[in-house]
Structure 1
Amino acid sequence: MNNKAVILGCNYYIGLSTIRCLGVHGIHTVAVDYTEKGAYGAKSKHCSERLIAPHYKKETKKFIRFLINYAREQSAQPVLIPCHDSYVEIIDEHLEELKKCYLIPQTEPGLYTKLMNKETLHQIAQEKGVNVPETVRVNEENFMEKVENNIKFPCLVKPVDSPTFVAKFRKKLFKVHNKEELIAALDRAKNASLEVIVQRIIPGFDDHMYTYDAYLNQDSKVTHWLTCQKYRQYPINFGASVYTGQKYVPELHEIGAKFFEEIGYKGFAEIEFKKDAETGQYYLIEINVRITNINQLLYKVGVNIPHITYQDLTGSPVAPKAIEEDTDVRFWCGYEDMYAIRDYIKTRQLSFQTILKSLLFKPKAYAIWDWKDPIPAFSNAGMITSKIFKRLIHFKK
């Protein structure tokens, strides 16, 4: 195992999980961040090496040069694994030069970006016959009329460029209930120089959200896959997973595998679907083209995506595998789920009894905690405590 694994972004539990999934197999892991502050993933006992790089956005050229220089110093090409959308965008932009010294699954420059971009993703999905929510572009003729008659209120104002939108507004989208709120949301996006689209809300509670997680080899064939069902998100209704279970839904494989193979995708990706509560049809909501929040769940049920990626790129592919049964294992991010539970109960979308039952009687894949590797959890707890203390001090003032 001369090839090191370079993990970009370890200040969140996605990077931590990636490091652990590789480290348990004795792979040399390299945690890369632009600051030591908050990077609790690098404190895992499975982290072999830690690097502080120039900021990926503020100093992009220096960041790319840093990565290239590091790779050239190694005896074998490292495997490059981004754990945040912003890192994916940078890799996609510089894919051709990075592939000269790193092992990266994707070979088509721009494909990651096309799938992350809501507008181009919807065009590709429609071309491949995959359902997507009805959408109106802001610059279309009779825009407001189409929203009121075809999309209808309430509806969603969603960004074309999600990472930039989330960084600006700390949320994934705007939900608007009338014409006035829509205009206000469009103005906010325009003032931030962000392009948005308006989309119909697919009916159904948060447990109508599903994922199709798959790995495709260098021949663009699905070799590993499983499906999951979301139960709680934060922010509620339109947020990231905080409580999700593995659930076998073969129909999602039929849709997802065909889509990925037809577009020539390589590596890991996750499609988020929503099942229409009225028609039963599945709609493609978005695609994640990097390791996701629920990676620890995938690992616990037997699909170790970071290791599968590493082995495939270094010439020792792992035998194909699919989870074609219900294991009932649940991913749980306790801290963020506390806020979600508060809001679900406050809005009367879930009862306390239902939530308590889910917490007590289901096997868990924890986002951060691991008895065999506790330091990252202690580090993260210290960060949370510090934030709470600062808020209390500010409140008293």
Structure 2
Amino acid sequence: MSHKAVILGCNYYIGLSTIRCLGQYGIHTVAVDYLDTNHYGATSKYCSERLIAPYYKDDPKAFVQFLKDYAGQQSVPPVLIPCHDNYVEVVDEYLDELRECYLIPQTDAGLYSKLMNKETLQKLALEHGVAVPETIRVTEEDFLDKVDHIIKYPCVVKPVDSPAFVAKFRKKLFKVANREELVAAIEQSNQAGLEVIIQRIIPGFDDHMYTYDAYLNQESKVTHWLTCQKFRQYPINFGASVYTGQKYVPELHEIGAKFLEQLQYKGFAEIEFKKDAETGQFYLIEINVRITNLNSLLLKSGVNIPYITYRELTGSPVEPYAILKDTNYVFWYAFEDLLAIKGYIKTKQLTLGQVVRSLFKRKAHAIWSWQDPKPFFAFVGMLLGRKFGKSRT
């Protein structure tokens, strides 16, 4: 296959899984990072080429020019696949320019950013009849009183710009138990120059979190999809998946496919829902517009999103299909799951027995692979290096 696959961000297991998904078919994979350290994904035997680009935050124009220069050296346009929100933001900003030399699913510049932005996402969801948690903006008159009477406590303070918030606070949101904590959280966000909104917490344990993972072709029609159910996440209650199973939930397809098709979306998207433990209604929480944590689970379950993307963009699309049963596979990021388990047990949300019983499922490992073990050992070496470095300071 002559088209190369340029993968942005391989210092994490999402990039690693993308490399594996494509490399196993003999596709030339190009791992792009901005540092020459801690990119264990690029140690995969399926990685064909490694590039160090300018840092996209310091000089996005230089980063884009680097990508364009590389594409200009190729005989045919490469496929461009971002594996982190920050890369998505750059691609979206320079979409028209990058599409001149790369194959990219999305054609509507700005749509990625609209869906990543919590405020515009909520507006789009409501316009299309998709339920979202009740939200109050800090710019509203008497917003503190509205929180007291409409949303009530505890509630969450969420960023409008998630990547910037996570980079600053190393968490996805603030959970607050009273007005004093709410004011403090808003003040912290203001000091960091970050806009936030306040939302009701949908009742239900973490296993009430679900995902709808879908690929939409260039006609904005869902061609491939499956659904998943979270079991544990880290940080607990409001974090990323660390133990998640594939679970067939047809209602999520009914909601998600209609919404994405109405938006004229193209490419892969993952919609995260929470099922209200009291009413059973599904609420849209967020949308990921890039390859996600669960990519290895999707692969094990039978849906290879990077390969589907590559095949369609290079002119030989894969036949449509969906996973309409439970495969009993679970995604497992063991390192952070151990931290999550400690938190769940400490807060008495889970017992040790419940945790042990949950582990007897077929695994889609975040990093480990018998066929490709080197990234695992590179990851362990990275962790030991960090620990050793801390012990000396």
The TM-score normalised by the length of structure 2 is: 0.99
**1:269-289 CA distance string (max 9 Å, x none):** 000000000000000000000
Identity of aligned residues (%): 70
Does 2:374 correspond to 1:370?
no
Number of aligned positions between the proteins: 393
Residue equivalent to 1:140: 140
Alignment of 1:302-341 (within 5 A): 302-341=302-341
Equivalent position amino acid for 2:357 in 1:
K
Residue equivalent to 2:388: 389
Q: Displacement, 1:385?
A: 1.2
Does 2:230 correspond to 1:242?
no
214-223 vs 347-356, which deviates more?
Answer: 347-356
Residue equivalent to 2:204: 204
Residue equivalent to 1:33: 33
Q: Displacement, 1:354?
A: 1.0
Residue equivalent to 1:279: 279
Tell me, in whole angstroms, the C-alpha distance in 2 between the residues paired with 1:388 and 1:175: 30
Tell me, in whole angstroms, the C-alpha distance in 1 between the residues paired with 2:202 and 2:390: 37
Alignment of 1:1-397 (within 5 A): 1-359=1-359, 361-394=360-393
> What is the DSSP-based 3-state SS (H/G/I as helix, E as strand, rest coil) of the residue aligned with 1:342?
helix
Tell me, in whole angstroms, the C-alpha distance in 1 between the residues paired with 2:122 and 2:56: 28
**1:256-302 CA distance string (max 9 Å, x none):** 00000000000000000000000000000000000000100000011
Name segments (4+ residues, structure 1) moved above 4 Å.
Answer: none
Tell me, in whole angstroms, the C-alpha distance in 2 between the residues paired with 1:38 and 1:391: 16
> Where does the alignment leave 5 or more consecutive residues of structure 2 unmatched?
none
**1:194-248 CA distance string (max 9 Å, x none):** 0000000000000000000000000000000000000000000000000000000
Equivalent position amino acid for 2:43 in 1:
K
> Where does the alignment leave 5 or more consecutive residues of structure 1 unmatched?
none
Tell me, in whole angstroms, the C-alpha distance in 1 between the residues paired with 2:18 and 2:314: 17
Q: Displacement, 1:386?
A: 1.7
> What is the DSSP-based 3-state SS (H/G/I as helix, E as strand, rest coil) of the residue aligned with 1:35?
coil
Equivalent position amino acid for 1:372 in 2:
Q
Q: CA RMSD in A?
A: 0.6
**1:353-397 CA distance string (max 9 Å, x none):** 1111122x2000000000111111000000111222333444xxx
Tell me, in whole angstroms, the C-alpha distance in 2 between the residues paired with 1:156 and 1:134: 11
